[in-house]
Structure 1
């Protein structure tokens, strides 16, 4: 049985065609608010239920509750503040405004609340640091001085170059039902796959009906793999190494926060809304730099017995020369001298130097896909 949506009901905040037509014909009558690409993606995820039970951007009570208690004000688990920031607003509480990205009207928002907030507190609570070198902290410090909360109605979406790979929660739930899967484990990734990823995914698949690989597409930090590279690499892996009736691939547009343990919970909630019953929590999940411990995200799940999706903690895989294959620390008795760890940084350096990684690190078919791109990495 696929999981129930977070909060009990899958949210859908998309304007009906006739209403959309009317709003757009009257758009000059609304105050305009410009929003950046990341907030547009948040809007889409609210509207399509990826962020259920949210119906809009957080009001003050929910924002404060998420910061301090990692729950919405009604006690529903929620760890990442989904907020809309503005400079000094030229509208009032109770107004309806149109949210624009450039010249494109994205959504109508009913402004329930306008409030101020402490940026440093926001950063420290969510990211455990106020270091401006942390990309999430830097993003918060650039935000406007006010937050506006209220429900949204989606009018338009940004062009999606990967639309054929993108599935919304209502679609993934239908897909899992058609495949006959009752238990589904989701895997979040922002990387092209190496053999360590494959080991973790297949270890999890052993215990459930189906594996759902769900790469994140969207703005990433320098050095991450480009979106198209990730998709093509996984297609090659699926073609040669995955059973067709037990694994599927679909993407989600999302802006990484790099909030470590808190974001791991958020990622699990997103996949719960898509219908997954289990979620693989990786080593240094959603981390960046040395801000979080390698398995700190695992401990975070202890705070949420009511999350409604089962975390799967599978230790980092490495190649053991003595065992002669991919193993992890729980099943390998041999000392470190026999271990070869798969480092994403090391793999990137090898690829950039035109050096093919050994097969126990990366499948040759995956390497060939990556090598086919002139520059596979975000600059």
Structure 2
């Protein structure tokens, strides 16, 4: 609270101590935590990870123009993944892509994710798999392992040249529908025309409905975002269709549906249980099994 309007302050990485940037303070205000939590996260429950982050903050926020001095470890640590917006736009232009669908993920891609991406490939020029390189939840799979697993899926199950894998440094806040909007805005900067929005995008627990993150885009005014949602229904493996489907394409009952969950898959992997082929590709499972085996050594 000692900083004043018009002053400059260093923005420091709390873990490394590196100065990441300089902020010129143009505004300062005390946090109304309940107001922020209820509007951003639609809950004040302290068990929500995003609410917990807000509640841990100091009493005063500052705002202003930021001058970046460093991108941290990301450009060096993730050389093959780290693309800046100008670089992704240049790649799209080189490929002749004008309609690009971004796919946000913090997980290795299972069969439902693959199906979402393939639907997008059908209606756009290509898919930009843009994964989280920032902090993850406990139990999440590290970016290096995730990248290898996603690469195996792309190499074996997608037509060459239809998918680009990249990453960016963001920490998930699990704000559900409100986070879907910021994900779309970020991908707009990267040059994407669409954001794939499936079931419970950026959700956690039971705080949001399965399609809240799709409905929020309908509340925006015309021109609010250039990047539009590519809304796709719940995906599953149907034993009667004998393939991946959505609630809009499969007429069969729930007794024929195998619902695929990243959380369930992680549980099975951690216990050494077999992963059904309806859940994930064998090449992906092999990579993930090696990772989980290394945790037990």
What TM-score bracket applies, with the shorter chain setting the length?
Answer: over 0.9
Where do residues 158-177 of structure 1 align in structure 2 (5 Å cutoff)? 158-160=72-74, 161-177=77-93
- Largest Rg, 1 or 2: 1
- The answer on 1:361 being equivalent to 2:279 is yes
Q: Partner residue of 2:5?
A: 93
SS at match of 1:222: coil
Give 1:272 deviation, angstroms.
Answer: 1.0
Give 1:310 deviation, angstroms.
Answer: 1.9
Query: Do the aligned partners of 1:347 and 1:357 also contact (CA within 8 Å) in 2?
Result: yes
Query: Do the aligned partners of 2:258 and 2:278 also contact (CA within 8 Å) in 1?
Result: no
Give 1:124 deviation, angstroms.
Answer: 1.0
- The answer on 1:111 being equivalent to 2:25 is yes
Give 1:98 deviation, angstroms.
Answer: 2.1
SS at match of 2:29: strand
C-alpha distance in 1 between matches for 2:131 and 2:9: 33
C-alpha distance in 2 between matches for 1:173 and 1:110: 30
SS at match of 1:165: coil
User: What are the Cα deviations for residues 233-282 of structure 1, in whole angstroms up to 9, with x where unaligned?
Assistant: 11111111112221111001101110000000110111111000111002
Q: Which of residues 22, 28, 52 in structure 2 aligns to 1:138?
A: 52
Give 1:96 deviation, angstroms.
Answer: 1.9
Greater shift after overlay, 142-151 or 159-168? 159-168
C-alpha distance in 2 between matches for 1:325 and 1:108: 52
Return closer, same or farther for 1:376/1:203 CA change in 2, 3 Å cut-off: farther
Q: Which of residues 279, 289, 294 in structure 2 aligns to 1:371?
A: 289
User: What are the Cα deviations for residues 60-116 of structure 1, in whole angstroms up to 9, with x where unaligned?
Assistant: xxxxxxxxxxxxxxxxxxxxxxxxxxxx22x31111222223542221221112221
- How many residue pairs get aligned? The number is 289
- The answer on 1:222 being equivalent to 2:138 is yes
Query: Do the aligned partners of 1:226 and 1:376 also contact (CA within 8 Å) in 2?
Result: no
Q: Which of residues 173, 179, 198 in structure 1 aligns to 2:114?
A: 198
C-alpha distance in 2 between matches for 1:103 and 1:245: 40
- The answer on 1:281 being equivalent to 2:209 is no
SS at match of 1:224: coil
C-alpha distance in 1 between matches for 2:80 and 2:119: 28
User: What are the Cα deviations for residues 303-358 of structure 1, in whole angstroms up to 9, with x where unaligned?
Assistant: 12321112111112111111111111111111111111112222112211222312
| Alignment RMSD | 1.5
C-alpha distance in 2 between matches for 1:137 and 1:292: 14
C-alpha distance in 2 between matches for 1:93 and 1:375: 53
Q: Which has the higher contact order (CA 8 A, sep 6+)?
A: 1
Give 1:376 deviation, angstroms.
Answer: 8.1
State the 4+ residue runs in structure 1 displaced beyond 6 angstroms: none
C-alpha distance in 1 between matches for 2:235 and 2:278: 11
Query: Do the aligned partners of 2:270 and 2:292 also contact (CA within 8 Å) in 1?
Result: no
Query: Do the aligned partners of 2:269 and 2:292 also contact (CA within 8 Å) in 1?
Result: no
Give 1:375 deviation, angstroms.
Answer: 6.2
SS at match of 1:112: strand
Query: Do the aligned partners of 1:186 and 1:213 also contact (CA within 8 Å) in 2?
Result: yes
Give 1:217 deviation, angstroms.
Answer: 1.4
Q: Which runs of 5+ in 1 are unaligned?
A: 1-87
TM-score by length of 2: 0.93
Q: Which of residues 69, 82, 86 in structure 2 aligns to 1:155?
A: 69
User: What are the Cα deviations for residues 186-245 of structure 1, in whole angstroms up to 9, with x where unaligned?
Assistant: 100111111111111101110111111001111111222222221111111111111222
TM-score by length of 1: 0.74
Q: Partner residue of 1:181?
A: 97
SS at match of 1:332: coil
Q: Partner residue of 1:42?
A: none
